[in-house]
Amino acid sequence: MAIEIREAGPGDLDAVLAIEWSAFERDDIVELTRDMLADPTAEPPLSLIALDDGRPVGHVLFTAARLDGAEASPLVSILAPLAVAPEAQNKRVGTALVEAGLDRLRAAGTELVFVLGHPGYYPRFGFRPAGALGLDAPYPIPAKDADAWMVLDLSGGTLGQARGVVICCNALSKPEHWRE
C-alpha cells in the first residue's frame, strides 16, 4: 500500500464524505463533517485525504478552536473526525493522516491539539488526558469517558501554562457531539 497524503480541496468533498460514510455508516458524522468544512468559525481548517493508488481511503479534519479563560489563548485545534475506509484499516493510514496533520499544524504554529477519541489509540501520538490538566471540553465529559478527552502540546511548553474551556467551531458546538 503506497499512501499519498494531501490537502483535500473543494473538489474532494464527495470523496471525503464517502470515506466518512464507509468508516462510520452514520449520517450524523457525514453531516457534521460537511458542516465543519463549511463553517467559517472553523477556519483555518486542515483537511487531509489519504489516497491509495489514487483511490481515496482516509480523511482527517482539524479545525480551529480557542481556549476560553486563558489570559492569552494559545493557537488551538481540534482533531475530528478521523476516518479510514474499512478496506484500508489496520494499514497505518490513520497514523499517517494524524502524523501528517500534526506536522503541518506544528509548522503553522499551533500549540495545542485536542481530541475526543479512543484512549487506546491517540496516546501513541503523545495525547494525554486534558481534563486533569485544567483543559475542559466544550461540554462536560462523563467521568467514565474522561480519558477520551485528550490534548497534545505541539509547542512543548504550553501545557501547565494554559487552562480553561475549549471553544470549538459552531458546527461542533452542540452537546450531542460530546457524548457517546
pLDDT of residue 70: 64
pLDDT-above-70 percentage for the chain: 98
What is the span of the domain harbouring residue 163? 3-178
Compute φ and ψ for 21, nearest 5 degrees: -65, -45
Q: What is the mean pLDDT of residues 11-17?
A: 98
Residue among 142, 125, 131 nearest 165 (CA): 131
Amino acid at 167: I
pLDDT tens-digit map of 90-107: 999 999 999 999 999 999
Q: What Cα–Cα distance (Å) separates residue 147 from each residue in 12, 57, 63, 122, 133?
A: 33, 28, 21, 11, 12
pTM of the model: 0.96
Q: Is the pLDDT of residue 1 over 80?
A: no
d(CA 76, CA 164): 12
Domain total in the chain: 1
Q: Which residues contact 98 (CB under 8 A, 6 or more apart)?
A: 60, 79, 82, 122, 125
Compute the CA torsion angle 24, 93, 54, 17 (nearest 10 deg): 20
pLDDT tens-digit map of 132-155: 999 999 999 999 999 999 999 999
Quote the strand ranges of 8-158, DSSP E.
46-52, 55-68, 76-84, 112-116, 128-129, 135-136, 149-153
Q: Is the pLDDT of residue 180 over 70?
A: no
* Residue 16, domain CATH: 3.40.630.30
Q: Is the pLDDT of residue 123 over 70?
A: yes
Residue among 153, 48, 56, 154 nearest 101 (CA): 48
